[in-house]
């Protein structure tokens, strides 16, 4: 199958003429920097419960924005009327905003330089745009999933849903960069719910959201998809076992954590903590600041020596993967934690200029491509890359890691979480927990949460699995900033072994 190209219904829109008009006017007004961003983002969601389609919705976000630096201050404005006259007016408003902001700006804004990328195109890796697939066909798949789940004796109700996004962006700036990009992302899922003698619980799919197309749903495990049939067959029995499982005894356990759970711990305790704006105290909304402050760069022992974490906006099928970010920066991969030590952060161009020593090969600093705005009405902010824990090249299998544990738990699937505003004290639950006794799985337990500080937890990591255990997980709904913005991000990791982690009984902790 040939690779998809840019959607012709997007390329027919007048973004080039609007960009030329806006940037031309900004230049006339004497700005030191101006960029123009035109976006069309299409969303579609389907939801099914117990074999019945509950709803199908479509939404489109279309418009453009102009951002300037003028007299040392940021200015920003946006609009939805697609005329050159409006583009000129938006540029003028952005400059007017900068003049007002300049009265409150104590340190002049400067941004790291970036090579010019003249008229480049990038399209994400997928085969079939899900928005081209008829709604009835997609609904039939979800309905079938819930009907099959409900054949399990333990399943009282079953739901399934599908979120789809097609994102197109055009970026241009006064330096001469012009980028036109397209990416698809997809989040299918299902959940089976049931009740036991003394509990009500559920079991959800552990399939991650991905930067793939419809082939992820129908292609099968060997064709870029997920083995939905196998998982649907297993989940009713897994739920039945969970409903009958004993409540965990609180204490200290060794943990073997599957990527379907560990990705979320990475997101909360590493991903947010190594956003440089948080580490410097410039950003605190939603997720707080960070214990991993800049003075600890190069010295903080984030975890054990087997811990190697990268930031990557080029990872195939990653949710944060793009060719060029929303500041015209070509995306990259870089080290955040190497051999357990903090060695890097996630940067946009303003932060990169403030800390040029983070990229010493580039005088004046260089961003690693972490600027993103979730709509044409929002200004780009520093956002999370695909932050991933690397496997050991010749590392053990999941079974071998379990075999090293005398008394412990094997953790599969994410569920709830809690972390403090410095990304340091946390606890996480999961979809299912298996007791490990003398290197063998001996059945599920429930009411489990693991609790630690970030450095104690990652410091207790004795081993990471090999490449065959590595899975790219992630989320559609990472929030940041005010006004709030939402971004999608992936986190890859191998199955990993942790020693001596505190386990809570969540029912006991709730006082029930």
- Residue 14's CATH number: 3.30.2290.10
- pLDDT per residue as tens digits for the range 1-32: 556 899 999 999 999 999 999 999 999 999 99
Q: Give yes or no: residues 177 and 295 share one domain.
A: no
Domain membership flag for residue 3: no
Name the residue range of residue 465's domain: 251-509
Overall average pLDDT of the 330-339 stretch: 98
pLDDT in tens, 453-506: 999 999 999 999 999 999 999 999 999 999 999 999 999 999 999 999 999 999
Preceding omega of 483 cis (within 30 degrees of 0): yes
- Counted domains in the chain: 2
Q: Residues 238-261: what's their mean pLDDT? A: 97
Query: Which residues touch 248 (CB under 8 Å, ≥6 apart)?
Result: 409, 433, 445, 446, 447, 448, 503, 505
**Cβ-based neighbour number of residue 106 at 10 Å:** 5
Q: Final residue of a domain: which of 194, 220, 244?
A: 244
343 and 482 assigned to the same domain: yes
Bigger pLDDT: 1 or 197?
197
Asked whether residue 459 falls in the same domain as residue 488, the answer is yes
* Co-location of 333 and 221 in the same domain: no
Q: Which long-range contacts (CB under 8 A, 24 or more apart) does 442-447 make?
A: 443/241, 443/245, 444/238, 444/241, 444/242, 444/245, 445/245, 445/246, 445/247, 445/248, 445/409, 446/199, 446/201, 446/242, 446/245, 446/246, 446/247, 446/248, 447/247, 447/248, 447/505, 447/506, 447/507, 447/508
Residue 2 forms part of a structural domain: no
Q: Is residue 288 part of a domain?
A: yes
Q: Token digits for 493?
A: 């990791």
Cβ distance 146 to 155 under 8 Å? no
pLDDT number for residue 273: 98
For residue 242, pLDDT beyond 70 = yes
Considering the domain architecture, whether residues 315 and 189 belong to the same structural domain is answered as no
- Rounded to two decimals, the pTM is 0.97
Q: What is the pLDDT of residues 45-103, one digit of tens each?
A: 999 999 999 999 999 999 999 999 999 999 999 999 999 999 999 999 999 999 999 99
pLDDT of 510 reads 83
Q: Please provide the average confidence, as pLDDT, over all residues in the chain.
A: 96
Structure tokens given for 197: 């003698």
**1 in a structural domain:** no
Question: Both 89 and 223 in a single domain?
Answer: yes
Do 363 and 447 fall into the same domain? yes
Q: Which residues pair with 48 in a beta bridge?
A: 53, 160
Same domain, 217 and 275: no
According to the model, what pLDDT value does residue 60 have? Answer: 97
The most distant pair of C-alpha atoms in the chain lies apart, rounded to whole Å, by 74
**Which residue is listed with tokens 């020596």?**
305
Query: Of 211, 244, 277, which marks where a domain is finished?
Result: 244
Q: Is the pLDDT of residue 184 over 80?
A: yes
């Amino acid at each position: 199958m040939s690779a998809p190209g840019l959607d012709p219904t997007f390329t027919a829109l007048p973004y080039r003429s609007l960009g030329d008009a806006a940037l031309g006017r900004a230049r006339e007004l004497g700005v030191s920097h101006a960029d123009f961003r035109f976006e069309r983002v299409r969303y579609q969601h389907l939801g099914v419960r117990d074999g019945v389609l509950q709803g199908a919705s479509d939404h489109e976000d279309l418009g453009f924005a102009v951002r300037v630096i003028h007299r040392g201050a940021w200015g920003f404005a946006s609009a939805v009327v697609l005329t050159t006259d409006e583009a000129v007016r938006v540029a003028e408003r952005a400059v007017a905003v900068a003049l007002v902001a300049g009265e409150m700006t104590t340190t002049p804004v400067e941004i790291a330089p970036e090579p010019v990328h003249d008229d480049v195109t990038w399209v994400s890796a997928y085969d079939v745009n899900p928005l081209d697939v008829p709604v009835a066909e997609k609904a039939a798949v979800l309905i079938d999933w819930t009907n099959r789940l409900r054949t399990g004796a333990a399943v009282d109700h079953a739901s399934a849903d599908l979120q789809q996004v097609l994102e197109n962006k055009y970026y241009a700036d006064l330096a001469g960069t012009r980028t036109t990009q397209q990416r698809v992302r997809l989040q299918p899922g299902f959940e089976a719910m049931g009740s036991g003698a003394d509990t009500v619980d559920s079991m959800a799919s552990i399939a991650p959201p991905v930067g793939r197309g419809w082939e992820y749903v129908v292609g099968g495990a060997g064709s870029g998809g997920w083995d939905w049939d196998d998982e649907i067959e297993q989940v009713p029995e897994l739920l039945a076992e969970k409903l009958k499982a004993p409540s965990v005894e609180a204490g200290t356990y060794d943990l073997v954590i599957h990527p379907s759970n560990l990705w979320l711990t990475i997101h909360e305790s590493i991903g947010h903590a190594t956003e440089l704006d948080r580490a410097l105290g410039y950003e605190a909304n939603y997720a707080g600041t960070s214990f991993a402050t800049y003075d600890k760069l190069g010295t903080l022992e984030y975890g054990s020596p087997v811990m190697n974490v990268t930031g990557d906006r080029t990872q195939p099928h990653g949710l944060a993967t793009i060719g060029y970010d929303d500041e015209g920066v070509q995306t990259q991969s870089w080290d955040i934690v190497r051999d357990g030590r903090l060695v890097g952060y996630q940067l946009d161009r303003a932060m990169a200029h403030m800390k040029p020593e983070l990229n010493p090969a580039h005088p004046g600093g260089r961003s690693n491509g972490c600027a993103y705005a979730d709509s044409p009405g929002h200004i780009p902010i520093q956002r999370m890359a695909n932050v991933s824990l690397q496997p050991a090249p010749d590392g053990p299998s999941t079974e071998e890691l379990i075999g090293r544990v005398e008394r412990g738990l094997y953790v599969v699937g994410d569920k709830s979480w809690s972390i403090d505003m410095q990304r340091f004290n946390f606890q996480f639950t999961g979809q299912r927990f298996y007791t490990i006794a003398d290197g063998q799985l001996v059945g599920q337990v429930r009411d489990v949460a693991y609790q630690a500080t970030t450095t104690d937890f990652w410091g207790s990591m004795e081993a990471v699995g090999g490449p065959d255990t590595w899975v790219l997980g992630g989320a559609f709904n990472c929030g940041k900033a005010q006004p709030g913005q939402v971004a999608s991000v992936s986190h890859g990791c191998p199955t990993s072994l942790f020693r001596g982690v505190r386990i809570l009984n969540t029912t006991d902790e709730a006082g029930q």
